[in-house]
Structure 1
Amino acid sequence: MPTRFFNLPVPQRRLLMWLFLILLGLGLVLALIPSPDTGEIQLNDKLLHTTAFFAYAALLDMASRKDFWRFQVPILLGYGALIEVLQSFTPWRMFSLLDFVADAVGLMVYWLLFRMILKVKSSA
């Protein structure tokens, strides 16, 4: 089974890395501005976290040739943890372990789908 699903040329990878970094910055800003949060568990919010981290994982995987589990996952989980910690210092946001879990679920869903696609592609 091939180890690299995304075999993009360097200029495309560089462009995707810039897009990834810009979206990380935008995500950080959006995570720290006030929102109409009721304090209760909101399914839409968890779905947003899962979807965002699925997209972050896909973008970083396309932009980087580094190992998913040893490089990409720690970076993305660290980013998710950083957001939660920073939110705990704002009066309008709060730390949420469930948000962090939703972030991790997004990474796992990406990895599982990625592995399924790899399996189908290698058997074709």
Structure 2
Amino acid sequence: MRLPESIHKLIACQLLWRTLFCISIVSITWLGFTSEPYPIPSAASDKVNHLLAFMELAMLTRLGWPRLGLIPPLLVLTGFGLALELGQSITPWRDFALSDLLADVIGITIGYSLMSLFFRLTGIRPAA
């Protein structure tokens, strides 16, 4: 599949993806600790919310830091998920859930897999 040159340039814009990654980290952290109802649409299942959030983080990581491979982001993002769960365990309105951490890891794996498939199908070389 041949994509327009403008898409290639957008995908190569690592600063954009890194900025979106940082915004996402802050947003996910806030959502993870707020006691207020979510001001944004969310899935009925908390596990789906975890899966989608970490899938997004993995995709942004793949675009923002294309040379990292899978293992470092998997470890760092899983560590972030664990830190969120540990932090939630000390709040009166949240609990630690190992199943949430599992959903995070599944989301990371799906996100990386989707990006790998995208790069393979389009012929785009992500390493800049």
The normalised TM-score by structure 2 is: 0.74
Q: Distance in 1 between matches of 2:108 and 2:30?
A: 21
Match of 1:82 in 2: 83
SS where residue 35 of structure 2 aligns? coil
User: Closer, same or farther in 2 for the Cα pair 1:112/1:19, shift >3 Å?
Assistant: closer
Q: Distance in 2 between matches of 1:7 and 1:31?
A: 29
Match of 1:39 in 2: none
SS where residue 68 of structure 1 aligns? coil
User: Closer, same or farther in 2 for the Cα pair 1:22/1:68, shift >3 Å?
Assistant: same
User: CA offsets, 1:7-56, max 9 Å, x none?
Assistant: 61xxx2112211111110111011011156xxxxx961111111111111
Match of 1:63 in 2: 64
Identity %: 28
Q: Distance in 1 between matches of 2:115 and 2:66?
A: 15
**Number of residue pairs matched by the alignment:** 110
Residue segments in structure 1 that go unaligned for 5+ positions in a row: 1-5, 37-41
Offset of residue 106 of structure 1: 0.5
CA RMSD of aligned residues (A): 2.4
User: Closer, same or farther in 2 for the Cα pair 1:64/1:33, shift >3 Å?
Assistant: same
Letter in 1 for 2:60: L
Match of 1:100 in 2: 101
User: Closer, same or farther in 2 for the Cα pair 1:22/1:120, shift >3 Å?
Assistant: closer
- Is the Cα contact below 8 Å between 1:54 and 1:109 reproduced in 2? yes
Letter in 1 for 2:79: G
The normalised TM-score by structure 1 is: 0.76
Residue segments in structure 2 that go unaligned for 5+ positions in a row: 1-9, 38-42, 124-128
- Is the Cα contact below 8 Å between 2:33 and 2:88 reproduced in 1? yes
